Amino acid sequence: MSLIHLSFYSAFTLSSLGLAFHRTHLISALLCLESIILSIYIGLSLWPVQNQATSFTLLPVLILAFSACEAGTGLAILVASTRTHGSDHLHNLNLLQC
């Protein structure tokens, strides 16, 4: 079982590194965020399978619902920033410097 644990821990770590080191496009940050949530979802779906407790199967569905809302909001922000800044390049987000 710990091989599966290793797989979603490493998926989470890789996605968070991708989120931390995104370079040019905002959309890559959003993609990494989604993959973080996806790895958490997969890890959480294993819980009722392993522990034979079917009442916990609600949790991944709840997380999926909230993360879908969040993804929608992220995409809306992407669209809004493309409308105001011209592209989703991260170099353009420098209007608020000290």
* Nearest alpha carbon to residue 77 among 93, 64, 96, 91: 93
Q: Per CB under 8 A, does 52 bind another protein?
A: no
Q: Per CB under 8 A, does 10 bind another protein?
A: no
Binds another protein (CB under 8 A): choice among 27, 31, 63, 64: 63
Radius of gyration in angstroms for the set of CA atoms belonging to the chain, rounded to a whole number: 17
String of DSSP letters for 9-71: HHHHHHHHHHHHT--SBHHHHHHHHHHHHHHHHHHHHHHHHHHT-GGGGHHHHHHHHHHHHHH
Q: Per CB under 8 A, does 5 bind another protein?
A: yes
Binds another protein (CB under 8 A): choice among 25, 27, 31, 43: 43
Q: Is the CB of residue 88 less than 8 Å from the CB of residue 26? A: yes
Q: Per CB under 8 A, does 69 bind another protein?
A: yes
The site for another protein (CB under 8 A) is made up of: 5, 9, 12, 16, 19, 26, 29, 33, 36-37, 40, 43-44, 47, 51, 59, 62-63, 66, 69-70, 73-74, 77, 80-81, 83-85, 93, 95-98
